[in-house]
């Protein structure tokens, strides 16, 4: 009985042209269904899906959980109550504090929603910490993170497909053995 080995090769793709070229090179390997995973920002998801329709495209930006929304709303309500009480003593101070609080909350939500969560997504699919951290560091400079899982026999061809263009950021590979 032999257990087949799989390798995962991945890199951050800097632009859409490099993404298309890499997709074409990987198509020559005829990958298995769902063996190519693309992590992109939410706004680029439809473009990546159109370029590589056979790949599984996931966005890496996420929103607040229900618990986080509840905590955010309760904190905002508590701070607003204090500013309303300040407004009862001095109207303009209460209005200014409420305006600053509202603007800060909106800016914080926008920044939180736009920040990609690449490392968390990679750790969920079983990637080692050091690879997830390297890809997280180079993801802001790129368009997408493309991961391809290939059998041991196709590893050399997949690796050469990733290294051929020379434009990819942090191309890395890992041996995906089952742990018994």
* pLDDT surpassing 50 at residue 179: no
| Rounded Cα distance, 99 and 101, in Å | 5
| Rounded Cα distance, 144 and 102, in Å | 33
Residue 103, pLDDT score: 94
pLDDT-based confidence at residue 102 (cuts at 50, 70, 90): very high
For the entire predicted model, the pTM comes to 0.70
Residue 173, pLDDT score: 84
Arithmetic mean of pLDDT over the chain: 84
Residue 50, pLDDT score: 92
3-state secondary structure of 56: strand
What average pLDDT does this structure show over 127-137?
85
pLDDT single digits (tens) 159-171: 888 888 778 888 8
120 vs 100 pLDDT, higher one: 100
In terms of Cβ atoms closer than 10 Å to its own Cβ (0-12, 13-18, 19+), residue 54 is middle
pLDDT single digits (tens) 16-44: 998 898 888 888 888 887 888 899 988 88
| Rounded Cα distance, 48 and 118, in Å | 16
């Amino acid at each position: 009985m032999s257990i087949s080995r799989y390798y995962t090769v991945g890199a951050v793709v800097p632009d859409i042209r490099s993404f298309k070229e890499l997709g074409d090179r990987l198509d020559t390997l005829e990958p298995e269904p769902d063996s190519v995973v693309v992590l992109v920002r939410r706004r680029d998801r439809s473009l990546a899906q159109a370029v590589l329709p056979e790949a599984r495209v996931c966005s890496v930006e996420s929103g607040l959980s229900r618990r986080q929304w509840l905590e955010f709303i309760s904190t905002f309500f508590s701070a607003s109550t204090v500013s309303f009480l300040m407004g009862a003593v001095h109207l303009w101070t209460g209005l200014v504090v409420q305006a600053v609080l509202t603007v800060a909350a909106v800016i914080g939500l926008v920044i939180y929603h736009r920040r990609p969560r690449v490392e968390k997504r990679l750790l969920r699919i079983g990637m080692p910490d050091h690879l997830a951290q390297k890809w997280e560091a180079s993801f802001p400079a790129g368009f997408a993170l493309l991961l391809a899982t290939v059998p041991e026999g196709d590893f050399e061809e997949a690796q050469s497909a990733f290294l051929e263009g020379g434009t990819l950021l942090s191309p890395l590979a890992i041996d995906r053995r089952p742990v018994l």
